[in-house]
């Protein structure tokens, strides 16, 4: 293997899923892109066994949306661990993802203050 190779994306099991900012259908659709792993979707922070606080450490937004791999799986979406900052993961979405489908996914995220931004000075 030549140092430029990247491990294949791994489908995540039960875990929390966190995305920075206010989660709307429009913000999710704007965030969709092709990850260098080949997965098309939007970025989140997720990894089995990690707390919301741990997942939020690299998120700069004061608000986050919190969901779970299970909730997204029930809507028909897979979450993959992918290379990136923090506990980077990608929620895979199909080509031609509709506004209605994005709204259904957005509804699976609960808005909360970013716990990494709460405390002295915030």
pLDDT tens, per residue, the chain with 122 residues: 444 556 678 999 999 999 999 999 999 999 999 999 999 999 999 999 999 999 999 999 999 999 999 999 999 999 999 999 999 999 999 999 999 999 999 999 999 999 998 755 44
Report yes or no on 119 lying in a domain: no
Number of domains in the chain: 1
Query: Among residues 44, 41, 40, 42, which one has the least CA distance to residue 19?
Result: 44
Model pTM? Answer: 0.91
- Classify residue 2: in a domain, yes or no: no
Note whether residue 3 is domain-resident. Answer: no
Answer whether residue 1 is part of any domain. Answer: no
Distance CA 7, CA 34 (A): 16
Full domain range(s) for residue 52: 10-114
For 75, 88, 118, the CA distances from 103, given in Å and listed in that order, are 11, 22, 28
């Amino acid at each position: 293997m030549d140092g430029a190779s990247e491990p294949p994306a791994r489908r995540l099991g039960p875990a929390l899923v966190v995305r920075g900012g206010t989660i709307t259908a429009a913000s999710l659709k704007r965030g969709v892109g092709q990850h260098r792993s080949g997965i098309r979707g939007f970025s989140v922070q997720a990894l089995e066994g990690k707390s919301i606080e741990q997942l939020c450490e690299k998120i700069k937004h004061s608000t986050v949306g919190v969901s779970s791999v299970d909730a997204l799986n029930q809507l028909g979406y897979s979450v993959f661990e992918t290379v990136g900052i923090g506990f980077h993961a990608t929620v895979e979405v199909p080509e031609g993802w509709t506004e209605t489908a994005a709204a259904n996914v957005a509804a699976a995220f609960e808005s909360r203050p970013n716990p990494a931004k709460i405390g002295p000075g915030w």
